[in-house]
Amino acid sequence: MLEQFQELEERVESVMRMFDAARQENNNLRQENKHLREHIDSLQNLNVRNEELQQQLQSLQREVEGMANKEKQVRDRLRSILEKIDSLEQDVQGDGAEEGQPEQHEQDEHAGEHQKAHHQ
């Protein structure tokens, strides 16, 4: 009978060791779970920030596109104005040559300088 008590005592001690090991494993898993939750929260915050930055980027891209379009319109308008000025100058030079204005050579030099100034 003593042997049975001893065997029972060994079994109880074995169950207690298993219980302690399970308790320790449970604590480890809880700690790991806590760290994973914190990591998930961090990733969610990062995702929200990323979405905010994506929206800002899209807004800035639209703004840049708008500025590029405005710049193109201004360039086109300037080009049109310069063409009109060149046309008017040619008309004036043509009228001046008929009325005894400066020689054609001087007019050609002036037109060349004007063209250079407009295209710079």
Q: How far is residue 56's CA from residue 62's CA, in Å, rounded to a whole number?
A: 10
The pLDDT of residue 95 is 75
Q: How many CB atoms lie within 10 A of CB 89?
A: 15
Across residues 52-69, what is the average pLDDT? 97
Q: What CA–CA distances, in Å, run from 72 to 13, 79, 80, 90? A: 87, 10, 12, 27
pLDDT digits (tens, 9 = 90+) for 74-117: 999 999 999 999 999 999 988 765 554 444 545 555 555 555 55
Q: How far is residue 118's CA from residue 110's CA, in Å, rounded to a whole number?
A: 12
pLDDT grade, residue 61 (50/70/90)? Answer: very high
Tell me the residue range of the domain where 6 lies. Answer: 2-119
pLDDT digits (tens, 9 = 90+) for 6-30: 999 999 999 999 999 999 999 999 9
Whether this prediction's pTM lies above 0.85 is answered by: no
Q: How far is residue 49's CA from residue 51's CA, in Å, rounded to a whole number?
A: 5
Q: How far is residue 86's CA from residue 83's CA, in Å, rounded to a whole number?
A: 5
Domain count of the fold of the chain: 1
